[in-house]
Amino acid sequence: MKYSIPKGTFDILPHEPKEEDWWRLSHHWEYLESVIRTVAHDFGFSEIRTPIFERSELFVRAVGEASDIVSKEMYTFEDRGGRSLTLRPEGTACVMRAFVEKNLHQLGGPHKYFYISPMFRYERPQAGRYRQHHQFGCEAIGIKSPEQDVEMIEMVCELFRRLGLKDLTVMVNSVGSADSRDTYREALRTFLEPQLASLSKDSQHRFEKNVLRILDSKDEGDQKILENAPLITDFLDEESKEHFDTVCTLLEKIGLNFIINPKLVRGLDYYNKTVFEITSSSLGAHNALGGGGRYDGMTKLFGGPDLPAVGFGSGLERILQTMMKHDIAFPLPKAPFVYLVPMGDAAHTFCFETLCQLRRNHIPAEMDFSGKKVKYGLQQADSLNAHYCVVIGDDELNTSIVKLKALATRTEEETSLSTLIETLKRSWNAHTLAAR
Ligand code: AMP
């Protein structure tokens, strides 16, 4: 019986034969994650890791019953103790649960957290949409100043800058307070009601449950109807309006190009005031690289103090796919500095001891354990992109002289067996210094 991977998921592997799948190469993920960590630390965010599953109720409360995530996308199961648990579909609710449960607000701020985690959503698998995807997310809790919103937007843009992404669009909007949103919802319903029958089936369904989501519809007919719809920005309360104006002014001041998209509402219930989304023109239908917004008060919903907060999430798959579309060069996978090829039993033992010594000296090293001919070992050294290849057989053991072959230049240098480790240590130090 051969097993296959579940629908909508993928393996992250060190090898991918097809070029279009290279975004799944594990060293690309390692590189992306290392840049993310550097940027997050540069902006003063600390890592947080929460369990991969939570009580289902947590997401129902925070994300909202009418949201797509809760109404149709959650991986919910009952455990053996009869509890309803859900594989995490998004990160914010989990971070806020941990924050409130551990009373982190009692510690000195700033409360700025980031995570890189898999997320699970039962969606129809297609390009850019998976049932398990991975998000880099950040949450900043306790600051209501618009600077915090702008710091978030700037951080995700700085990440994309450092990765070399271009042709991105930053869209911002304000969804106001819960009250102003209620008023807007009614206005939108009143506007759409006479045209209900002309809306797409999906939008008709959303009309009752989550009318704001109709604004997100990709259906052309819906978009035509929406052309004259009332705009949420005309319904903002004074505080939200002022907050949004300052966010826009600050974005202008730091030279961050953005557009105001009054139809941007995002799918989750918990947002208030600022929302934002960054899209890439290189992706197809699912072009959002990341998005977020303010969710003041979620801490209170979870039984903690009433604190402001702002956050965002960005999909690693889509970032990597965009990088590939832009032909951005990734660093090469880590290669061994030394590849040892033994000939004969005595050389095998000697090489194995040398291999362990090299690694204990922090030098990346590999050895051919296969027992095949030297030619095979040399091919392996080449395919792994080793810096040096060293062949050791009875001759080398008898004469105590060994050749270090630099594979890139095909040049050789001789050294004595007794000083082999010392020679390689010196050479490795010079190599790492030059690479800095
Ligand atoms: P959302 O919370 O839905 O705005 O998701 C945040 C980001 O995660 C999106 O902007 C995408 O980059 C990514 N994302 C969301 N859902 C998926 C999915 N099913 N597959 C791949 N990436 C996703």
Distance 49 CA to ligand 1 centre (A): 19
Does 30 sit in the ligand 1 pocket, CB within 6 Å? no
Residue 282 pLDDT level (bands cut at 50, 70, 90): confident
Q: What is the mean pLDDT of residues 283-299?
A: 90
Which protein residue's CA is at the shortest distance from atom 19 of ligand 1? 129
d(CA 119, CA 73): 11
- Mean pLDDT to the nearest integer, 158-170: 95
Residue 74 has pLDDT above 80, yes or no: yes
User: Average of pLDDT values for 309-325?
Assistant: 96
Q: Residue 436: is its pLDDT beyond 80? A: no
Give the position, in ligand 1's atom list, of the atom nearest the Cα of 277.
10
Q: Give me the pLDDT at residue 306, please.
A: 95
Kindly give the pairing relationship between strand 411-416 and strand 401-406: antiparallel
Q: What average pLDDT score do residues 394-402 get? A: 96
Q: Write the pLDDT tens digit of every residue in 86-133.
A: 999 999 999 999 999 999 999 987 899 999 999 999 999 888 899 999
Q: Among 135, 165, 175, 295, which is best to mutate for testing ligand 1, by the most ligand atoms less than 8 A from CB?
A: 135
CA of 133 to the centre of ligand 1 (A): 7
User: Which burial class, exposed, middle or buried, applies to 146 when counting CB atoms under 10 A from its CB (0-12, 13-18, 19+)?
Assistant: buried
> In this predicted structure, what is the pLDDT of residue 321?
95
Amino acid letter, 160: F
Q: Is 288's C-beta closer than 6 angstroms to any atom of ligand 1?
A: yes
Integer Cα distance of 200 and 222 in angstroms: 7
Q: What pLDDT score does 128 carry?
A: 86
d(Cα 113, Cα 418) in Å, to the nearest integer?
Answer: 51
More confident residue, 109 or 186: 186
Mean pLDDT of the chain: 94
Q: What is the pLDDT of residue 76?
A: 98
- From 291, 66, 63, select the one nearest 173 (Cα to Cα): 291
The arithmetic mean of pLDDT across residues 370-390, rounded, is 96
Q: Residue 285: is its pLDDT beyond 80?
A: no
Smallest CA-to-CA distance from 25 within 230, 332, 428, 326 is with: 332
Q: What is the pLDDT of residue 68?
A: 85
Nearest one of 138, 166, 163, 119 to 40, comparing CA atoms: 138
Protein residue closest via CA to atom 12 of ligand 1: 315
Structure token pair of residue 191: 């506007």
Q: Model-level pTM?
A: 0.93
CA–centroid distance, 286 to ligand 1, in Å, is 9
pLDDT category of residue 144 using cuts at 50, 70 and 90: very high
Give residue 84 CA to ligand 1 midpoint distance, Å. Answer: 24
Give the burial string for 229-243 (b: 16+ CB within 10 Å, else e): beebbebbbeebbeb
Length of the chain: 436
**How many CB atoms sit inside 10 A of residue 299's CB?**
23
Q: Looking at residue 277, what DSSP letter applies?
A: E
- Per the listing, tokens 């009318």 go with 211
Average of per-residue pLDDT across 342-366: 96
Give the C-alpha separation, 90 to 119, whole Å. 6
User: 201-253, pLDDT tens digit by residue?
Assistant: 889 988 988 899 899 888 899 999 999 999 999 999 999 999 999 999 999 99
pLDDT at 273 over 80: yes
Query: pLDDT at residue 29 above 80?
Result: yes
- Would you state the structure tokens that stand for residue 240, as one six-digit string? 């939200």
Query: Does residue 89 have a cis peptide bond before it, meaning omega lies within 30 degrees of 0?
Result: no
Ligand 1: residue of 286, 287, 321 to mutate (most ligand atoms within 8 A of CB) is 286
Question: Which residues have a Cβ under 8 Å from the Cβ of 366 and sit 6 or more positions away?
Answer: 336, 338, 339, 340, 355, 380, 381, 384, 386
Average pLDDT (63-69) is 86
Q: Which pLDDT value is given to residue 205? A: 87
List phi, psi (to 5°) of 414: -100, 145
